[in-house]
């Protein structure tokens, strides 16, 4: 009715924008330097190991000691360069976060506009009808989540409870001993209850994830309705 199936199928292939960072020429150079530094550090380390093995069967002289010291320093410095140059460049780039944030916002808007325009073939009545059912699905999922756990920190609380209970029962090392007594012992029942609570909490998190999936579809329908309203207003003005 009102081409609801077609609209839902159209939305099925629409996914939220996933940020994609364009690697600049400077970043490529830094990545190359880091890779070569890591490779050179690995070579120096292997040579140092070979030298140490040689010293097991031979008496090292002063030159060998100086060579081992040089290899050790080169290995350490190369590893430090490989680790800290990308981190330092990333720290410098933090100061330009505003420009990157605006660029990401524009790309996300373009992506969502392209998805919303896929619904331009449907009338306002059809989109409103689809919006009603998607919103209804979201409400049902959120009600199921709130019926299980109303607090967002439920999972963390359960993990803390489980940790405290396991510690109180003697720690992880005694879990096998508990299970050996059977699942119908006091300790076994406690473990089963904690496992049940954790499973229910994970199920609630999954329901929230499903609700987030439908929220994006709802946002696209609203964007399509907004585009349609702008076109109608422009047509009325002309």
Residues 158 and 202 placed together within one structural domain of the fold = yes
> Residue 48's pLDDT is what?
84
Residue 212 in contact with residue 16, Cβ under 8 Å?
A: no
- Is 109 part of a structural domain of the chain? yes
Does 6 reside within a domain?
no
Of 79, 97, 119, which marks where a domain is finished?
A: 119
- Residue 51 forms part of a structural domain: yes
Residues 94 and 143 in one domain: no
Walk along the chain (238 residues) and give the pLDDT tens digit of each residue: 568 888 888 888 888 888 765 566 777 888 888 889 888 888 888 888 888 888 877 777 788 888 888 888 888 888 888 888 888 887 877 777 777 778 888 888 999 999 998 888 888 889 899 999 999 998 888 887 665 554 444 555 555 555 555 555 554 455 555 555 555 555 566 666 666 666 666 677 777 888 888 899 999 999 999 888 888 887 777 6
Tokens 């994609």 locate to: 20
Q: Mark whether 151 and 234 lie in a shared domain.
A: yes
Judge if 90 and 179 occupy the same domain: no
Residue 147 domain flag: yes
Query: Do the beta carbons of residue 78 and residue 40 sit within 8 Å?
Result: yes
Query: Does one domain contain both 167 and 62?
Result: no
| 114 & 127 share domain | no
Among 89, 119, 149, identify where a domain stops: 119
54 and 158 belong to one structural domain: no
The confidence score (pLDDT) of residue 153 equals 47
The pLDDT score that the predictor gives to residue 136 is: 92
4 part of a folded domain: no
- Structural domain boundaries enclosing 88: 20-119
Per the structure, the count of domains in the chain is 2
- Which pTM does this prediction carry? 0.55
Together in a domain, 100 and 199? no
Does one domain contain both 177 and 108?
no
Asked whether residue 100 falls in the same domain as residue 184, the answer is no
Q: What is the pLDDT of residue 152?
A: 46
pLDDT value of position 83: 85
**Position 173 in a domain:** yes
Q: At which of 76, 96, 119 does a domain end?
A: 119
pLDDT of the residue at 151? 47
Q: Are residues 104 and 152 in the same domain?
A: no
């Amino acid at each position: 009715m009102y081409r609801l199936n077609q609209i839902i199928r159209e939305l099925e292939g629409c996914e939220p924008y996933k940020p994609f960072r364009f690697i600049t020429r400077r970043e490529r150079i830094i990545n190359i330097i880091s890779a070569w530094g890591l490779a050179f550090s690995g070579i120096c380390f292997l040579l140092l190991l070979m030298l140490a093995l040689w010293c097991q069967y031979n008496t090292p002289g002063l030159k060998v000691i100086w060579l081992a010291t040089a290899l050790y320093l080169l290995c350490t410095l190369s590893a430090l360069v490989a680790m800290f140059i990308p981190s330092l460049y990333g720290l410098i780039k933090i100061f330009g976060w505003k420009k990157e944030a605006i660029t990401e916002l524009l790309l996300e808007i373009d992506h969502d506009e392209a998805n919303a325009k896929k619904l331009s073939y449907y009338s306002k009545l059809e989109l409103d009808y689809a919006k009603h059912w998607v919103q209804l699905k979201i409400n049902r999922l959120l009600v199921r989540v709130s019926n299980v756990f109303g607090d967002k920190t439920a999972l963390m609380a359960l993990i803390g409870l489980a940790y405290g209970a396991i510690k109180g029962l003697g720690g992880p090392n005694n879990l096998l001993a508990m299970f050996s007594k059977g699942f119908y012992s006091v300790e076994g029942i406690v473990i089963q209850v904690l496992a049940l609570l954790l499973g229910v909490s994970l199920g609630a998190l999954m329901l929230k994830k499903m609700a987030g999936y439908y929220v994006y579809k709802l946002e696209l329908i609203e964007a399509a309705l907004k585009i349609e309203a702008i076109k109608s207003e422009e047509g009325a003005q002309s």
